[in-house]
Structure 1
């Protein structure tokens, strides 16, 4: 779904600092042909021209008013711009490039899930990515742009792009990361601040990879702070990177290893984590009150009396319910880390927008951590999505308590 905070094509324009960091991280000097698919305002390819001495720069954008279309006039004949769909199956022929001829590619894909076209399957198939999702038709633009760039790159060509957090950390894209690591070489991943792009707090990452390269045992990972400072490198074992490649996750593991302590995870302290079984719409059809995330104010930690029912009433309606000592954590929403509540008495029926955490014991200890500044920050780090955010049960269970 297109984000309401992006432009009408789902694009977030690349800040100059990010463009400079991406291009310098690719470590190139004089590539032959450079491509920028979905070039937008041309920030990436312009910075590429500032740092490299390429023979030509090919830009493509579906918007006929895109500023990248002005680059041939502004920068000279080494720039050639094409107006058209960057995900066209015959794009190489249309721009006079052919298949597997580009030396380098830069890209900041739009943050949308495009309407599926049959030839998207061919694009994914040609670069060995057709199997990475249970349903290929649900592929986001970022994945499709990776595949299209790989089609046009020559063997050994460098690809530098900005990808959303889901592709880097999401469980759903495990097979995507595995395919990249097994068939190419991911050289570097740099985590960017949430608010690095205008009008969005979406989590994004710079990724640099080499087509058909042999994957090294480790992948370099760094983080760009909001003040422009770049962290020191950590090295993520490639087999661990298949699960997720974000700096914030792996730096905690590095710190724990250096301290030689075993981290305590939420899964160690809870008996179960489940979801409410009622939808936000179906709750309006019954007389028994069902608690929804909109019924809990930000930072409110107690359940309103009107939603506390007896165990017999909860069982009569059916479905999962929370009992005394259980902790409710919002599963979805922009402010999910602010919506955590402790059930202090009775039973509470909830919608499926809440996780119901049932502690083994010491529910106050878990609740105090989750509602602390540190705990809420941890929840913000593990959520996914652009716009509306969500947490998976696996991510929640893997949460490490400070």
Structure 2
């Protein structure tokens, strides 16, 4: 069995094949796409072998040979039906990764064959439709000319062949995939904001949203700006019934949407538990014809994005109960917040990352914020360290929301100093996350860290939620001992005079070889005597 570290190294070695040919934001598409194709192919062969022999194959070559034999026998139709029912897709023997690898080793690899395999998976089930659309096997980014482009894919197939994806457990494989996504995000920098939430904030969001819901069977999790799906998938680590979680997610960018779909499979999420959609979250509400309210809502939307704020949205159920106001066209932050909150169950918890401006900006945002506070919807505000996210260096905050709770108090936590600096980013480690959770659960004032504001406190601050208004982190200047300061000044002055006197004596003893030098020394002595 491939250990996690070995698997990570193999997958990262695959990146080296593409590094230098294209931007990291582009080569993740090829590497992660081929890793997923290998996973589907290897799982397919292993499942076929198990159906034929009721055991796990010793290796993929054995599984390939058994499948080829069955494919050309009377067993073919029954076997393919069972595979389709179980896995939702089928592959011909010449479409497997094993076949592609053997061809690559013998310098007869055909991109047409690999494309045919992609197409077969696409056509097998709506679940896989367009999944490999971004993996352009004929792109000039792979090299100049057909041969170099083909060689790049061939080399990548050979490197990834060492990854044992059959025996890797779900968490090992899924976590390795998450690691790669994180590494690509780190290299890509600002372009990564669309597909990845760093580990620290992601864990904090999910752990907060999961509090009190750990034992719920059939938990409904929703992320309308899901990126690679990492936020939703993090929730399974804090559930005692992870195999029954239903995941609902929407993503605007098609390539990122495909990344999330792959991520679900590699975390062994059953197809019936995946409800993912490629679409504009604000433009048209979703979901609307299945589950529409969720136990857990986690979000890391694009900060201060533009949106239409068209008048028609004032009649949209998501936005219509907030004083007739909409989030401004130039800042969709509250539009995302209200969308997620609309889909939250009465007993659920929502946690969203937003820029600090949502806490104090006025005009329509001020009206919306006031309405949320009057309803007791805002449960907590947590200030995060700056430079946490790849797409911005500005400080951000987590806003926690609940429906129909007793009281309208708001917990404020200042976690801005809970980090360590690593390379270009600030990182929240487990100890930092644990401290925030401790403050969150205790829900009590702690000097310079947390404050539980009553509704009257919030009203007296004109519904401004800027954290420094509630949590005073200013360090008092130490009192100056004037007697001690006077004593030290006198001692310093005395020492200066003694040193000057010593220097004067040395200068007077000097013998000068020229008149110019003698005049210069005399002038220096005069200056010191006058000081």
Under TM normalisation by the shorter chain, which class is it?
0.5 to 0.7
More strand by share: 1
Deviates more, 1:156-165 or 1:220-229: 220-229
Q: Is the 8 A contact 1:190 1:223 kept in 2?
A: yes
Structure 2 gaps of 5+ residues are: 1-188, 421-427, 437-448, 477-531
More helix by share: 2
Structure 1 gaps of 5+ residues are: 257-402
Structure of greater Rg: 2
Sort the Cα spacing of 1:251 and 1:184 in 2 relative to 1 into closer, same or farther, 3 A. closer
Pairing 1:229-308 to 2, within 5 Å after superposition: 229=432, 230=435, 232-241=449-458, 243-252=463-472
Aligned-residue CA RMSD (Å): 3.0
Measure how far apart 1:18 and its partner are. Answer: 0.6
Measure how far apart 1:132 and its partner are. Answer: 4.2
Counterpart of 2:75 in structure 1 is: none
Counterpart of 1:388 in structure 2 is: none
Alignment partners' CA distance in 1, 2:322 and 2:330: 10
Measure how far apart 1:165 and its partner are. Answer: 1.0
Alignment partners' CA distance in 1, 2:310 and 2:191: 22
Q: Is the 8 A contact 1:39 1:59 kept in 2?
A: yes
Whether 2:65 is the aligned partner of 1:65: answer no
Counterpart of 2:214 in structure 1 is: 29
Whether 2:306 is the aligned partner of 1:113: answer yes
Counterpart of 1:97 in structure 2 is: 291
Counterpart of 1:56 in structure 2 is: 246
Q: Is the 8 A contact 1:71 1:79 kept in 2?
A: no
TM-score, normalised by the number of residues in structure 2: 0.42
Whether 2:40 is the aligned partner of 1:40: answer no
Pairing 1:2-401 to 2, within 5 Å after superposition: 6-7=190-191, 11=194, 13-26=196-209, 27=211, 28-31=213-216, 32-52=219-239, 53=241, 55-66=245-256, 67-75=259-267, 76-77=269-270, 78-93=273-288, 96-98=290-292, 101-111=293-303, 112-123=305-316, 126=319, 128-132=321-325, 137-138=328-329, 140-172=331-363, 173-224=365-416, 225-227=418-420, 228=428, 229=432, 230=435, 232-241=449-458, 243-252=463-472
Higher relative contact order (CA 8 A, sep 6+): 1
Sort the Cα spacing of 1:143 and 1:46 in 2 relative to 1 into closer, same or farther, 3 A. same
Q: Is the 8 A contact 1:40 1:68 kept in 2?
A: yes
Alignment partners' CA distance in 2, 1:198 and 1:18: 12
SS at match of 2:260: helix
Alignment partners' CA distance in 1, 2:319 and 2:361: 24
TM-score, normalised by the number of residues in structure 1: 0.54
Sort the Cα spacing of 1:34 and 1:201 in 2 relative to 1 into closer, same or farther, 3 A. same
